[in-house]
A = this chain, B = another copy of it.
Amino acid sequence: MAAPGAARPAPPLVDHHCHGVVRGELDAAAFEAYLTESDAPAAPGTSYFDTQLGFAVRRWCPPLLGLPPHCPPERYLARRRELGAAEVTRRLLRAAGITEFLVDTGLPGDLTGPRELAEAAGGTAREIVRLEHLAERIADTSRTTDSFLASLDGAVREAARTAAAFKSVAAYRHGLDLAPTPPAPAPLRAAADRWLTARATGDPGAARVADPVLLRHLLWAAVRTALPLQLHTGFGDPDLRLDRCDPLLLTDFVRAVRPTGCRLVLLHGYPYHRGAAYLAAVFPHVYADVGLALTHTGARAGAVLAEVLELAPFGKVLFSTDAHGLPELYVVGARLFLEALDTTSARWVRDGAWCAADAERVAALVAADNARRVYGRGGTVADGT
């Protein structure tokens, strides 16, 4: 994305947090469902296309499929069906300008895995291992509490050999107001017992791990591997209580982790992104993401990004799309980010607050260099797809 009137090329993008794309065709209702964090159809008389994200999709994606920007949703969806999901995915992913993907593989559904995503996009991919998903898979096959805990430890260590990072959704399962330290062995064993027993009785509420003691154990298991640990903070679907996802609730955990050297990456953060930026400013091992917040705020992405860039050191901010399901979300996440960064920094350069060389340097940091420093450049992908 060039500065107004200039020819500055877009920096390459490392998407440090995203998910897979739906493999099959989507009808109109299924497509619309991916435009919102809600778990329900839009209220009567309203549509999720009438959101900043909906407008952003209609801005950026129709031209990539040969249609005018802002064409009606129906026309766009018809064109999508005409081309077929595979061709649409290929076209959109190649247009997004992302060269490296770090893919959270812990979401359900028939989604592309990292390798398949990378191939469709013409880039490379590595895996982010979602801790809660890992624990649930192991619980599915563990016969005793002891074997569960042992298998879990082994699985975390094994995952750490190839994964780019771990991720926790403790925010969803309990909230971020967790005790900051690792649980002691006895309460950990008791919590695991309770959970596995509830699962054995078929309690549907026990399918997911939500006990705060177990969640803390997962966090610390990841911390000990010294891989970066991504933490969901801020908004998401209505499963969470947003006020319990304020990243500042993690302050004591951040302090407890500090001596270990493990780097913590605070995802999303909105509307508490200024707090996330504060933590990134005062704690050397904390980083802040600008993914989901930009995608969902569309025309306001520049304003939201600027708020993150108030306190966060420029070496601590990371681009992501948090794209999930629709290849459109990679395009929108990337375009909104590049435009937001370019427009914002160009204005600061014009006003004399920044110089042009710094603006270019900061763009490269946030777009890719910070992610490469935090996650390394990685190797091959362990991907069964």
Contacts and interface: CB of A to CB of B under 8 A. Distances in A.
Interface of A: 36-48, 50-52, 55-56, 59, 69-70, 235, 237-238, 241-243, 246, 248-249, 251-252, 255, 270-271, 274-275, 278, 281-285, 296-300, 303-304, 306-307, 309-311, 313-316, 348, 351-355, 357-358, 362, 365, 373
A354 B249 CA distance: 36
Contacts of A39: 282
B315 A52 contact: no
A284 B40 contact: yes
Contact of A43 (B52, B59, B284, B352): B284
Nearest to A48: B313
A48 B45 CA distance: 42
A295 to B, nearest CB: 11
Contacts of A44: 373
**Residue with the highest number of chain B CB atoms closer than 10 Å, among A46, A48, A373:** A46
B70 A355 contact: yes
A310 B315 contact: no
A314 to B, nearest CB: 4
A185 to B, nearest CB: 28
9 closest Cβ pairs, A-B complex = A46-B315, A70-B355, A299-B353, A271-B274, A243-B248, A297-B310, A238-B282, A43-B284, A50-B314
23 contacts: A42-B284, A42-B313, A43-B285, A43-B313, A44-B373, A48-B313, A50-B315, A50-B365, A51-B311, A55-B358, A59-B354, A70-B355, A241-B251, A242-B251, A243-B251, A243-B275, A271-B275, A296-B311, A298-B310, A300-B307, A300-B309, A303-B306, A304-B310
A36 B282 contact: yes
**Residue with the highest number of chain B CB atoms closer than 10 Å, among A243, A255, A310:** A310
A314 B242 CA distance: 21
Nearest to A298: B353
A156 to B, nearest CB: 25
B243 A249 contact: yes
**Residue with the highest number of chain B CB atoms closer than 10 Å, among A47, A283, A353:** A353
Nearest to A238: B282
Nearest to A274: B271
A45 B287 CA distance: 13
B251 A43 contact: no
